[in-house]
Amino acid sequence: MTFSEEQRRKLDRAQEIIEHKFENENLLLSAITHPSATEGKAVKYSYERLEFLGDSILGAIVASTAFHSFHDLDEGGLTRIKVALVSGTSLADVAEHLGFADVIVFGSSETGTGKRGLHSALENVYEATVAALYLDGGLEAAREFVTRTLIPRMSLDMASEPENPKSALQEKLQEGGITPTYKLVETQGPPHDRTFVAQVYAGSQGLARGTGRTKKEAESQAARSTLARLSEFFGGMGIGEKNNEKAAEKAAAKAAEKAAAKAAKEEQKARKKREREAAKKKLE
């Protein structure tokens, strides 16, 4: 198959990111191709079929790693680690940091939309890449990629994540005099395939964001991400475990400020990136 200039450029960059030279580059092309790019094109498949396979392979790799890493955890704890690690927010974040946003092949229907479905596309491309690696280089190739890019995020703290992250976050922050609120900040994708983006706020300060197929799921993911940052700040110790109430309040406020600053920095970075993309489109 003859690749277009854009496909060739993105295939080369994708292989650099993945650190694997594909014998069958058509597999990789499918993995990085958005469904909108298959209409009337020579590309037969988008990442949708590979995503289906990659989801199962990824789950097995993460489950096996957690099982062998945390010998004292029961089934519930292992499940919570797996769910947290393979969540849409987690995979999209990893894919974005790897640079996958620059290699996804979008169709004309996405042009001018600001790539509204980018977050869900990043998640899907990560899973599809795992499947492509499995088909091209076997389970070991897929495992090496996941171990390098995703597994470093795995931690014992994930095992104790609450079933209701919104309630847990409210309890934790209210000890510091902070009441979290949630706002829907973005809606991505076409009407038949919506992805919602919600953000947690402490007063007027924006904290972490989360995405989901429903508004409720997006808010839960946002709360989960905020809790993860607070846990890192306290070194695994919850606010409620501290005996000094004033120290707890001060620590909670500092945690919120730190999360807000990080969120603001990420948002500024994303905005600059969108501006560069918009300027690039005008020149094309």
Could you say which of 3.90.1170.50, 3.30.160.20, 1.10.1060.10, 3.30.230.10 is the CATH number of the domain covering 165-282? 3.30.160.20
Which pLDDT tens digit goes with each residue over 16-37? 999 999 999 999 999 999 888 8
**Confidence check: pLDDT of 247 > 50:** no
B/e letters for 172-207, b = 16+ CB within 10 Å, e = fewer, are bbebbebebebeeeeebbeeeebbbbbbbbbeeebb
Poorest-confidence range of 55-59, 109-113, 131-135, 261-265? Answer: 109-113
Q: Among all residues, which ones are annotated catalytic?
A: 55, 127
Which pLDDT tens digit goes with each residue over 40-87? 554 557 898 899 999 999 999 999 999 999 999 988 788 888 888 988
Categorize the per-residue pLDDT at 97 as very low, low, confident or very high, splitting at 50, 70 and 90.
Answer: very high
**Confidence check: pLDDT of 149 > 50:** yes
Q: In 3D, which of 48, 55, 195 has the Cα closest to residue 118?
A: 195
Instruction: For the chain, give every domain's residue range.
Output: 5-156, 165-282
On whether the 5-156 domain is CATH 1.10.1520.10, my answer is: yes
Angstrom distance (rounded) from CA 226 to CA 218: 12
